[in-house]
């Protein structure tokens, strides 16, 4: 049982959804069953054309903590921003309509807050009908997962992140850059706090053709330039150099300049190899074959 002192803090869970009729009931019911009860579930229906909205209406009748809104803008990031504008929690968590939370996920992360902690996170584990993508833990090593679905934020820290630029396809890079640059204290558990469903319609484009995957990666990586433009006058040298390396690597990746990427200074070997794997049709094919071994890091 969660102590009353801890559960005094309301948690807002913001979820953009679009055409997830096959998954949304399982996702939302995993929130209903959380051991941490003081939550508000804010779902923004991003112009779904399947049964998603009607399923959500039925779920909302089962639990008053669920509030469903129709999207004003269009796209995942616009939906997150809309959810942020109406949420009231002291802690902010982001979620997806096709994933599943272990029933102690919110509690485990809330226990990590306090003593100046800005960000509380844990590990993610994938599940999929495709064995290649099933059972991957992110990250494999003893380190925090800083992706949007894993990390929870204090409201004060979330104020730095939101609004997210709406030309970005998702929140992950933008949130992780804020954590890297501005989080005074990060606390994490090695427990699995999110079960990440991988399927053919994932926004990350698992298993798609190279041209499509390259487009997805390029759209995500726009966050580096946007972040630098916004914060260049307040970032320290370490973060400026990090962003410079990321931006240069993306330029080389788009041009397919594998050798230049391999010897690019100021960028970790892991990042150089990741960019190489998305820089040509051949290297991408190799990555797809070895996906389970290369993922998780």
- Max CA separation in the chain (angstroms): 58
Residue 42 phi/psi, 5-degree rounding, is -110, 110
Mean residue pLDDT of the chain comes to 94
- Is 297 a residue whose pLDDT tops 80? no
The answer to whether residues 79 and 48 touch, using CB atoms and an 8 Å cutoff, is: no
Predicted confidence (pLDDT) at residue 1 exceeds the cutoff of 80? no
Q: What is the pLDDT of residue 257?
A: 98
With a CB cutoff of 8 Å and minimum separation 6, the contacts of 197 are 23, 98, 99, 100, 126, 127, 128
CATH number of 4-197: 3.90.550.10
C-alpha 119/C-alpha 103 separation (Å) is: 20
Residue of higher predicted confidence among 8 and 93: 93
For the chain, the domains span: 4-197, 210-294
Could you report the per-residue pLDDT of 69-104, keeping only the tens digit for each? Answer: 999 999 999 999 999 999 999 999 999 999 999 999
Contact (Cβ atoms closer than 8 angstroms) between residue 77 and residue 165: yes
Tokens matching residue 215: 């487009």
Strands (E), the chain: 11-17, 39-45, 66-70, 91-94, 119-127, 137-138, 152-154, 186-197
Q: Is the pLDDT of residue 4 over 60?
A: no
What tens digit of pLDDT does each residue of 132-188 get? Answer: 889 999 987 888 899 889 999 999 999 999 999 999 999 999 999 999 999 999 999
From the list 111, 188, 174, 177, the residue with the least C-alpha distance to 144 is: 188
Beta strand residue intervals within 129-199, DSSP E: 137-138, 152-154, 186-197
pTM of whole model > 0.85?
Answer: yes
Number of CB atoms found within 10 A of residue 207's CB: 15
The tokens for 47 are 């112009």
pLDDT digits (tens, 9 = 90+) for 220-244: 999 999 999 999 999 999 999 999 9
Tell me what pLDDT residue 295 has.
67
For residue range 255-289, list pLDDT tens digits in order: 999 999 999 999 999 999 999 999 999 999 999 88
């Amino acid at each position: 049982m969660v102590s009353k002192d801890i559960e005094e803090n309301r948690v807002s869970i913001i979820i953009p959804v679009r055409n997830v009729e096959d998954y949304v009931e399982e996702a939302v019911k995993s929130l209903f069953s959380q051991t941490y009860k003081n939550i508000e579930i804010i779902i923004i229906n991003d112009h779904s054309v399947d049964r998603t909205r009607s399923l959500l209406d039925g779920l909302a009748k089962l639990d008053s903590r669920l509030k469903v809104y129709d999207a004003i803008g269009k796209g995942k990031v616009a939906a997150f921003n809309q959810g942020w504008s109406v949420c009231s929690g002291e802690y902010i968590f982001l979620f997806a309509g096709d994933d599943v939370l272990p029933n102690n996920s919110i509690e485990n992360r809330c226990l990590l807050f306090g003593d100046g902690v800005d960000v509380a996170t844990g590990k993610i584990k994938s599940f999929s009908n495709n064995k290649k993508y099933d059972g991957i833990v992110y990250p494999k090593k003893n380190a925090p997962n800083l992706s949007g679905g894993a990390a929870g934020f204090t409201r004060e820290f979330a104020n730095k992140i939101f609004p997210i630029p709406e030309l970005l396809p998702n929140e992950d890079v933008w949130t992780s850059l804020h954590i890297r640059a501005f989080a005074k204290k990060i606390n994490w558990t090695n427990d699995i706090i999110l079960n990440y469903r991988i399927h053919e319609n994932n926004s990350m484009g698992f298993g798609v053709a190279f041209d499509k995957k390259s487009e997805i990666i390029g759209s995500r990586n726009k966050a580096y330039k946007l972040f630098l433009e916004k914060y260049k006058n307040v970032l320290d040298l370490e973060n400026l150099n990090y962003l410079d390396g990321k931006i240069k690597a993306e330029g080389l990746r788009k041009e397919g300049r594998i050798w230049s990427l391999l010897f690019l200074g100021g960028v970790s070997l892991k990042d150089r190899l990741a960019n190489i794997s998305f820089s040509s049709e051949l290297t991408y094919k190799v990555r797809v074959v070895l996906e389970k071994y290369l993922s998780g890091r």
